Each structure stands twice: as structure tokens, then as C-alpha cells.
Structure 1
Amino acid sequence: MKLRRIFCVGLLSVTMLSGCSLFGGEEDVVKMSPLPKVDNQFSPNKVWSTSVGSGIGEYYSHLRPSWQDGRIYAADRDGMVKAMDADTGKQIWKTNVVDKNYFFSSTKSAMLSGGVTAAGNHVYVGSENAIVYALNKDDGSIAWKTTVAGEAMSRPVVDGGLVLIHTTNGMLQGLNVEDGSIKWTANLDMPLLSLRGESAPATAHGAAVVGGDNGRVNAVLLDQGQLIWQQRISQPSGATEIDRLSDVDSTPIILDNVIYAIGYNGSFTALDLRSGQILWKRDMGSVNDFFIDSGKIYLVDQNDRVVALDINGGAILWTQSDLLHRGLTAPVIFNGYVVVGDAEGYLHWMDSASGYFVAQHKVDGDGFLSSPIVAGDRLVIQARGGYVYSFTR
């Protein structure tokens, strides 16, 4: 099977991009690694599965479920949002956010793409139509919807009475959680050519920290949207447009006043929260979110290597390279195992101490793009075709 190093349809965002000529020729086509042979040490137990509309199809969209108070919330691209009991998968409510009277069409897609986030009394989800929706958690009714500065590709983040939205035209906006009114807008700047997708912000000590398409990590005051500092962690370089991409699309993690962030064609970097000063860095690029657990950083790099780093200095603890170019999701830690999905619909389980495979199983023929989530004692993942699966160890 052959895959392009960067998917032409959906992964790049660019002004006046015509076709895929910028990618060059056959040298930009890579082969997906064959499925590694694994001697399964256990068989994960599928507790339930249920369909949430038509999923994301072939679109590049990181819609993934959210878990809160014993419920799983999930959505599909066309506009369906569904609340389910986390133990049984039974539907609690279902809502379609599409305005049926819009353009007198009952089939118009809402193009949901950013979310889902459950926080407080609402469930939030953004769209490529530049609309952010807040649904009441009790019954799924629409509490408010707001038109934002651009496509809302990243997950909404709620803190300090604000819903933070990072749009594809480089704007970070703070919306009032009660009515969706826009409190402030911060312009983070963006280059002509960028990857499709945006960093969701992380928050701490009254600041929002978010990656930008220009290779920088930005810190913004929550109460007024004022930029505090910027620090470059990914520098445009190389002979081709792809080599010069430097987006920071993953969500930073803030731990003990240290920010951890990674850029495409860049570095995994630890920064001081207050000043933005670089504490340490390691050459390693990715667009996927990463995970920190028990002093270790787990990530999937841009070539689909699964890597564990020491949080103190970034020393590489182990690398698992048998899944190259399989279109891996971001990793999670579940019951002591590193778990990733891939584009062919497999879940791969690795020992968190060594990176060795301990289990592998085919789940869904449509494949995965969005990462699994940990919902208490369950691992939950949504496939491209819309099915949501719940597993126990």
C-alpha cells in the first residue's frame, strides 16, 4: 500500500494551492509498513460499540469523543451530536445542529471538526463553517452558537469563564461560556502555507498557551487576550515547501510550570511557563498530541515512530519503529500500556516501559484518525466511519 507523505486533500491549508504539484514526484510517496506480527499477551474486551452518524469519512478532522460524569459525548461531521452512557453505550440524547431551514436544505452538513469538549453545563463543538456550538448537557438542546474568526479545527478549551477557540486563520478567541459572545481576539499570525489543523490551547495560572502555524508557542493572558510572549520551536528550513512547514499543531502540556510542546519539522521542547525560555529540546517533529505519565513523555513522530522520552532533559528511553507510515493516532496510556490506533483500523498495545508489543487487534475497517481517550476504566475510540468503541483491559 502506498501513501503520500502529506495527504494532498485535507492536510494542507494554503492560499491559492493548485493540485498537488508542490509535493514533487514519486520521491514523496512512501510505503506503509506491513502489519507487525504480535504474540498477543491478552485480548482486550469490547464492552460496547455504537454508531454516531457517518463519522468524518475521508476528511481530515480530529473529532473525538469526550467523557464526563459517566457519559460519553461524540459527534459526526454532518452535525449529529450524541450523549451515551459510558458503561453501556446506551443513547441518552441525540441532536443534529444543522439548521434545517438554512438554504431550504435538509441535507446541508454542519462540517463539525473541532471538539467534542464537555465542561460545566455544556458540550462544545466547532465547525469548518466557523460556527461554535454549545449544547445543554441535560438534553442536547442548543444553548448558543457563535460565528468565530475562521474554521474551528481544534478542540474547544474551557477555563476562566471562557471557551477558547483557535481558528485556521491564526486567531485565538475567547468566548463567554454563558452566551457565546466574543470577549477578545488575539492574532497569532500565520504563514502562506501550513498544515491543516490547529493546536488547542493549554491553560495555567491565568494564561493560555497555544502553538501557531509559524513555528512558535504563544502565551496569552486569559482575561484580556493580550500576548505575553512567543517562542519559536520549529524553524522553516529545507529545499521544498514541505520541508519548510513548521506548524505547532499539537496541544502543549503544562506541568510544574514547564510547558512541553512539539512542532512539525521542529523540536520537542520544554519551556519556562513565565518567560518562554527554552529549558531543553530534542530534534523530533510531530503534528500529533502527546501524553505525559509518571515522568515519561510518549509521542508519535511525523514518521509514525512511537517514542518515549525522559521528562528531565528529553533523553530517549525507547523507540518503536515497526509502525512507520501506518497513519497512527496520538498515543494514550491505559492500564500501563501505550495504545495507538492506525489508518487500517488496528489498535496496537505496547509495554510502556520497553515499547514492546503486547497486543494487537483489528477493530474497524474504516480506520482511525483521532486518538483514543481514557474514560475511567474504559478505553474509548471513534473510527472514521462514525462507530464508537469501548474496551476494557
Structure 2
Amino acid sequence: MAAPVSASPAYGPLAGLLLVSVTALAGGASADPAPLDTHNRERCPIVRPERCPGIIGTAQDDGRLFIGTTSGLFAVPAGGGRPLWHALAGQHVFGPRIAGETVWAGTRGGRLLALDVTTGNIRLRHRFPGWVYAPALAGGLAVTGGSDRTLWAVDQEKGALRWQKRLSQELTSAPVRLSESAVAAATYDGALHAVAVQDGSLLWSVSLPGPATGLEPAGGALRVRTFGGTVVLVDPETGATTQP
């Protein structure tokens, strides 16, 4: 399973401006999407004469940049440019995450989707209550969660639901891979939970200085940013925290 070359974290459902797409797309991807509402045109990696959607998160492989936005999921050349494809038009897309030839995303509408990196065609889909983030990818499973206070694990190949784990509160950031056997998720009460990929059993739980806005690997540790601006490093094996 390939890991993305680079990725930016997705934040909560209010992370971007909720803009309105003028396209409609049923199931697949469009190679020539209609213009989108103006937002941050000067720094927009999506070349489409005048307009750019609110960008929530990105991931990059060797030649493409995948962009989750407030109006769908885009694939563009790595350096930016005209879309190679545009899927899920009009939807608020969290993520994305890349595994081999598949790009995964979650949506404000509660959809977990796996799409072909080349065409944008949907390979797998699951629907959950509320909204869900892009998943953590580990051990052959895609582990997602969001507003329903639950983690769900879906088989990356078959799309079958393998397990679900109830948490203390809703998630504030996308789950992250700690290893092939563990993932972590942060909740609104300021807790960070690590669970086993195999069955969702709790490995450890730790209290943070506040709800997390982003989780990302950093030199063998997990770097956590909170709403209050505090940064904490967490040991992925034990949950022990230190200040950077």
C-alpha cells in the first residue's frame, strides 16, 4: 500500500467557506467541470479561468495533486493546472488520502468514497450518519469517523464494514495512521484515542490541552495542533505527550 508523497490535514466541517457549485455530477467524474465560485484565486492550484473553490485538504502522488474542496474533489497536475478530473461536484469533500491507485475521501453528507486516481470513477462507497472525514488507511482497512461519535472500519478491497467503535464525542480532525496495526482519532472533549486496526479495541487514550485541529506524523511522533494554538507531540506507542 503506497503512502502519499505529501498531504495536508482536513479540519472540521466549517474549515472552508460553503460555496455553491453550478455543476451536477452523478456518480463519476467530469474532465471539464463548470466554473466554481471565486475564492483565493491568486493561490489556487486549479486553473479554471476565474474561479476557485474553498480548499479543505490536499494529497499528492508522483504526478498529481488531489484537492478536497467545498465543491468536490479535483485532480490536477502536481504543479497545478487545469483539472484532470472533477468528482463529487457540489459536495463538501474532506481529505483526500491516497493508497496505490485509489484516492479516498469523506464528505459532509456522510459518504466515504474510494475513487480511481486516474479517472475519478467511484470504486467503493459507504454512507454513514452525519459527516465523515477522509479515512486513515492501515492494515487493509479504511478507518473513518466524524459527527456521529463513531469510528468505522471498511475493507479497502471489498468495501465491507469490518467493525465500529463508539467514542466519547464527535471527531475534530481526520483519523490518522499510527502504524499498520493502529490508528488515532481526536474528539471534541480534547481526548486523543488510539485503536487497534484489527478490531477497534482501545490501545490508549490521552487528554490534550484542547480539541485537536490537526494530526500529523513528525519524526516518529504524532504532532497535534489544538484549537487554542498549542502544539503537542504524542508517542504513538504509549500516548505519552511532550512539548516540542
Specify if TM > 0.5. yes
| 8 Å Cα contact 1:203/1:254 also seen in 2 | no
Are residues 300 and 166 of structure 1, via their aligned partners in 2, closer, same or farther at CA, if it must alter by over 3 Å?
Answer: same
Q: Give CA deviations for 1:268-304 in whole Å, capped at 9, x if unaligned.
A: 1111110000011123352322244455443233333
Partner of 2:102: 162
| 8 Å Cα contact 2:96/2:103 also seen in 1 | yes
Q: Give CA deviations for 1:227-257 in whole Å, capped at 9, x if unaligned.
A: 221212333xxxxxxxxxx234233123151
Return the match for 1:300 from 210, 218, 225: 225
Q: Does residue 125 in structure 1 map to residue 67 in structure 2?
A: yes
Are residues 300 and 149 of structure 1, via their aligned partners in 2, closer, same or farther at CA, if it must alter by over 3 Å?
Answer: same
CA displacement at 1:259 relative to structure 2: 1.4
Are residues 188 and 287 of structure 1, via their aligned partners in 2, closer, same or farther at CA, if it must alter by over 3 Å?
Answer: farther
Q: Does residue 177 in structure 1 map to residue 177 in structure 2?
A: no
Partner of 1:264: 188
Partner of 2:77: 136
Q: How many residues align?
A: 214
Return the match for 2:135 from 178, 201, 204: 201
CA displacement at 1:60 relative to structure 2: 8.7
Q: Does residue 313 in structure 1 map to residue 238 in structure 2?
A: yes
Alignment of 1:223-262 (within 5 A): 223-235=157-169, 246-262=170-186
Return the match for 1:96 from 31, 44, 47: 47
Larger radius of gyration: 1
Q: Give CA deviations for 1:174-230 in whole Å, capped at 9, x if unaligned.
A: 111121111221112117xxxxxx633221232112232212222111123322212
Q: Does residue 289 in structure 1 map to residue 223 in structure 2?
A: no
SS of the residue corresponding to residue 155 of structure 1 reads strand
Are residues 145 and 80 of structure 1, via their aligned partners in 2, closer, same or farther at CA, if it must alter by over 3 Å?
Answer: farther
CA displacement at 1:110 relative to structure 2: 3.2
Partner of 1:114: 56
| 8 Å Cα contact 2:44/2:52 also seen in 1 | no
Matches of 1:145 and 1:127, distance apart in 2: 10
| 8 Å Cα contact 2:140/2:155 also seen in 1 | yes
Are residues 60 and 280 of structure 1, via their aligned partners in 2, closer, same or farther at CA, if it must alter by over 3 Å?
Answer: farther
Q: Percent identity?
A: 22
Alignment of 1:330-349 (within 5 A): none
Give the alignment's Cα RMSD to 1 decimal.
3.3
**What one-letter code is carried by the residue in structure 2 that aligns with 1:96?**
V
Alignment of 1:343-358 (within 5 A): 352=244
SS of the residue corresponding to residue 95 of structure 2 reads coil
Unaligned runs of 5+ in 2: 1-10, 20-38
Unaligned runs of 5+ in 1: 1-9, 14-55, 62-75, 83-94, 101-106, 192-197, 236-245, 319-351, 353-393
